[in-house]
Amino acid sequence: MGNNSLRDTEMKCHNNITGSKGAGVSRRDFLSGAAATAAAFTIIPRYVLGGSGYTAPSEKLNIAIIGTGGQGIHNIKGLLQHSDVQVMAVCDVNEQADYSRFYYGGTAGRKPALELVEKHYAGRKSTARYKSCACYIDFRKMLEKERSIDAVLVATPDHIHAIATMAAIKSGKHVYCEKPLTHSIYEARKITEAARRAGVATQMGNHGHSDEGIRLTCEWIWDGAIGHVREVHSWSRTGVDWAGYRTARPKETPPVLSGLDWDLWLGPAPKRPYHLAYAPYNWRGWWDFGTGAIGDMACHNMDPAFWALKLGHPTSVEANSTGVNPETTPLASIVYYQFPAREGMPPVKVTWYGGGIMPPRPDELEPGRELTGSGNGILFVGDKGKIMCAGWGGSPRLIPETKMKAYKLPPKTIARSKGHHRDWINACKAGRPKAGLIQSSPPTAGGILSRPSAWSPWPPSSNFDYAGPMTEVILLGNVALRTGEKLFWDGPNMKATNVSEADKYIRPRYHNRWTL
């Protein structure tokens, strides 16, 4: 299908939508700022409108989705479970694709996403509570036309994360963005700064950060369960064949998948012919679009180390791999980070293992017992013992098990999450921070939950002030991989002080007239 046909489809979709634009006081204004005060007297009590389970339209959060592939569909299903949320618009450059051979299953794209949303709200169409869900190909048009959007969820390929997130922030929308937050270190810094200035509620999609396991890990380490932590080992077996074991671009030039706007899919990446090796799924294994195993999984599996050990910028990073080329991420890699002493904690070496490589087996593990996590996890090595956790911030265990059974658990001092989507929704609905309350500098990684947010009792736990700096460190591993050098890192200035070649990977060029 050509671009003209795609545009026609988009226009037809818009022509079928009624009432998608706000009139008078927008829904976002209604939910935040002075307009809420003026309009509050017109809200009809919930019990009058629809019974105890009914959420008044004025209390709903209007959310738009940018990126409706497998993870986008997964997020939509999660959001639809919340009665005070309305998914009001979906946007994707791809009409429909088969995801049955991937863990998502089924089909994805803007058409399946639209059908999912419309089916969920079908019972409301006969009332004034629901008109329809808008659909778009280009997120810029959606943000321009759909004025009643309050918040945006971004679930595109990595190379689109920053431009879509920044566009939403500049439009004054709250943002949830899938991990990794961005495709490059420079983008992560700029997105974090922009969100802080705008005072919008943010969350990165590393959902394990909202679970119980990561909180227990922090509390045990802060309790001194294993003494001072000197080493951390984290791993994932994910991503070995993302690029189909390719080391160069395919030579074939098949026709573009029907219903896909390939130029928009490429976005700021250099032009290249379409191939199934890139989309809809295997983009993670290509440097122009993805960030490899470490970009995908370290945001999950290294997350407990960032929080529990209050990690900031490393002083150095170096990497080894099965082989680096200009096009595809390596099949397997090991990345070594060295962090300085901080907040009463000693220097620590953090090692990442990707593509199925595992750390040395701890002596403390009982015979026949394996490291937890089924190929995904993290191991903390302290002066007085070791803690291992499953992937995605999973439950911690001291090893050996006799030590676990003897350990007296400390009090639960960290606020518990109501859910990764729920915390973000609550922060969005609370509105903008009051003037003067926006933080001028990011809190330390370990202090994210130690102070109230300006817009809610507790900020979303993986808000951009936490997720942005963590993303910078994780993506620095890819810079070390691609340069093949040990990098001495000046974090505040985003500079490898000894390798000038690193600059082009820290801040890659944008193409096709796209800007951040």
Q: What is the pLDDT of residue 106?
A: 87
Q: Which of 233, 238, 237 is nearest to 361 (CA)?
A: 233
Task: Show the tokens assigned to 2.
Answer: 């050509």
In a domain, 403, yes or no: yes
The answer to whether 57 and 129 are in contact (CB under 8 A) is yes
Q: How far apart are CA 352 and CA 235, in angstroms?
A: 6
> What is the chain's alpha carbon radius of gyration, rounded to the nearest angstrom?
23
Instruction: Pull the structure tokens for residue 353.
Output: 């293992």
Q: Where are the alpha helices (DSSP H) in 138-249?
A: 139-145, 158-170, 185-198, 212-222
Residue 183 lies in a domain: no
Query: What pLDDT is recorded for position 3?
Result: 44
Give me the pLDDT at residue 458, please: 56
Instruction: Determine the residue type at 205.
Output: G
Would residue 363 count as lying in a domain? yes
Question: Could you tell me the CATH number of the domain that includes residue 314?
Answer: 3.30.360.10
- What per-residue confidence (pLDDT) applies to 130? 72
Q: Is residue 312 part of a domain?
A: yes
Orientation angle between helical segments 185-198 and 158-170, nearest 10 degrees: 20
- Taking CA atoms, 315 is separated from 49, 161, 302, 348, in Å, by 59, 27, 17, 11
CA 436 from chain center: how many Å?
28
Phi-psi group of 376: left, alpha or beta (phi > 0 → left; psi -120 to 50 → alpha; rest → beta): beta
pLDDT of residue 100: 82
Would 298 be classed as within a structural domain?
yes
68 closest CA partner among 112, 102, 100 = 112
Token look-up 């500049």 returns: 170
In Å, what is the CA distance from 172 to each residue of 175, 197, 481?
9, 11, 36
Classify 276 as helix, strand or coil.
Answer: coil
457 and 180 Cβ atoms separated by less than 8 Å: no
Q: What are phi and psi of 364, to 5 degrees?
A: -70, -15
Tell me whether the omega of the peptide bond preceding residue 280 falls within 30 degrees of 0, making it cis: yes
Supply the DSSP string of 282-306, one letter for each residue.
GGGGBTTT--HHHHHHHHHHTHHHH
Q: For residue 245, what are the CA distances in angstroms to 143, 248, 271?
A: 38, 9, 22
Residue-level pLDDT at 13:
55
Between the alpha carbon of residue 111 and those of residues 92, 245, 306, the distances in Å are 9, 31, 38
Longest dimension (CA), the chain: 69
- Rounded Cα gap, residues 60 and 327, in angstroms: 44
- Cβ pair 177, 205 in contact under 8 A: yes
How distant, in Å, are the alpha carbons of 284, 481, 494 from that of 328?
A: 9, 12, 24
Is residue 320 within a helix (H) or strand (E), and if so which, with residue range?
strand 316-321
The parent domain of residue 387 ranges over 210-242+283-412+468-506
Query: Is there a domain that residue 314 lies in?
Result: yes
Label residues 91-114 b or e (16+ Cβ within 10 Å = b). bbbbbbbebeeeebeebbbbbbbb
CB 398 within 8 Å of CB 217:
no
- The CB-based long-range contact list for 102-109 (8 Å cut-off, 24+ gap) reads 102/70, 102/281, 103/70, 104/69, 104/70, 104/71, 104/73, 104/74, 105/70, 106/73, 108/68, 108/69, 108/70, 108/72, 108/73, 108/280, 109/68, 109/69, 109/259, 109/280
- Separation CA 459–CA 133 (nearest Å): 29
* 82 within a domain of the structure (yes/no): no
How many structural domains comprise the chain?
A: 1
What is the C-alpha to C-alpha distance for residues 403 and 390, in angstroms, rounded to an integer? 18
Q: C-alpha angle with apex 88: 86 to 92, nearest 5 degrees? A: 130
Below-50 pLDDT ranges, the chain: 1-9, 11-12, 14-54, 433-457
Cα 104 to Cα 6: distance, rounded to the nearest angstrom: 25
CB 318 within 8 A of CB 480: yes
Judge whether 138 and 3 are in contact, CB under 8 Å.
Answer: no
Structure tokens at 379: 């191991």
Inter-residue contact 295 to 236 (CB < 8 Å): no
d(CA 429, CA 494): 34
pLDDT of residue 58: 60
Kindly state whether residue 306 falls inside one of the protein's structural domains. Answer: yes
- Specify the amino acid at residue 75: N
Q: Is 231 in a helix, a strand, or coil?
A: strand
**Rounded CA separation 351/500 (Å):** 24
